[in-house]
């Protein structure tokens, strides 16, 4: 019998699971940035509001995306869409 030299193929994060998790986290952080920068009082640096108020709907959506990103990435990895 011949011994085959099998090496593990390394994707370096170029998988469906990695891209999905990364893009979900990026979208969540962008939504959180918008929620805190342009909240209910507008852009707080220019309107003189003493207390900036983030947009709570966008804050919740962004936080859910950031928290769900590694969960979805892990689930896709278990489903075979990640690195071997």
Nearest Cα neighbor of 71 from 13, 29, 24 is 24
Statement: the pTM of the whole predicted model exceeds 0.85: no
Q: Is the Cβ–Cβ distance between 55 and 42 less than 8 Å?
A: no
Name the band, by pLDDT with cuts 50, 70 and 90, for residue 12. confident
Q: Phi/psi of residue 38, each to 5°?
A: -115, 60
pLDDT digits (tens, 9 = 90+) for 36-52: 888 776 665 555 666 66
pLDDT digits (tens, 9 = 90+) for 47-66: 566 666 788 899 999 999 99
Give the three-class secondary structure for 38: strand
């Amino acid at each position: 019998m011949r011994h085959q030299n099998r090496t593990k193929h390394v994707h370096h994060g170029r998988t469906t699971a990695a891209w999905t998790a990364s893009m979900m986290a990026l979208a969540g952080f962008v939504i959180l940035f918008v929620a805190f920068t342009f909240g209910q009082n507008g852009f707080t640096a220019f309107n003189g509001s003493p207390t900036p108020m983030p947009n709570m709907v966008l804050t919740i959506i962004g936080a859910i995306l950031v928290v769900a990103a590694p969960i979805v990435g892990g689930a896709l990895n278990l489903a075979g869409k990640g690195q071997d």
